[in-house]
Copies of this chain bind each other. A is one copy, B any other.
């Protein structure tokens, strides 16, 4: 069970997501409060955009626990960005702890991260091998369900590696991805629960989903509605509230969270 946090708004230091909040990602690495796994220390990743330099994001991922990575400690307080993805990983027993299996995953202008578990690995591998074109298939660098699901998502975008998708195109592809995973999961008996809290961005808008087929407590997801000290709106989505304030709202189960380029936040129920 991993934890993640996503930010969209005025330029923010990476350290404001990773280190500084009361319940920062570093805190959640050893003391996650709403996770089945209190410790999430099998690697981490941070992705961010520098729009004045490139439409593609920078990604820094490593297999160390986030709390003792000196490189992150040094650069996180020297880099600010209008769009930041942060993730800490709890590896399952079969997906190795490698940089390439850490989140976020990167293709073209997009970043993707996941909290959850998609049962039926062999089936998912075959489905993606059938549906993805050669380019997308050859770009898979790790072996996680998360990266396979990202590839599945990309196959539902027009020219995924060539042009920036519209926010609604990302929302539609996310809806399709969850529908497919849900259908395949329902067709098979006795599998472990499907848990798919995905989050994707192009650096200007953001789409997340909270969906699980499980009797257990569903993986948690929250969204933040508030402003910075200058009154400028900002949007966050996180597995757990990073701070204590009232600005954090639980994302209803089976919902999409769509943050548009104007930073408006919309909660849409998933079609089922």
Contact = CB atoms under 8 A, between A and B. Distances in A.
Contact of A122 (B50, B80, B137): B137
A189 interface: no
Interface stretch (A2-10, A57-65, A233-241, A250-258): A57-65
A130 interface: yes
A182 interface: no
A39 B42 contact: no
Nearest to A89: B68
Interface in A122-146: 122-123, 125-126, 129-130, 133-135, 137-138, 140-143
Nearest to A69: B97
Contacts of A134: 122-123
Residue from A60, A95, A98, A140 with most neighbouring chain B CB atoms (10 Å) = A98
Given A68-B97, A98-B98, A125-B129, A53 B80 contact: yes
A180 interface: no
Interface in A41-57: 41-42, 48, 50, 53-54, 56-57
A65 B41 contact: yes
A37 to B, nearest CB: 10
A68 B94 CA distance: 11
Contacts of A95: 141
Contact of A125 (B42, B50, B65, B137): B137
A138 B60 contact: no
Contact of A138 (B94, B130, B133, B141): B94
Interface string A26-49: 000010000000010110000010
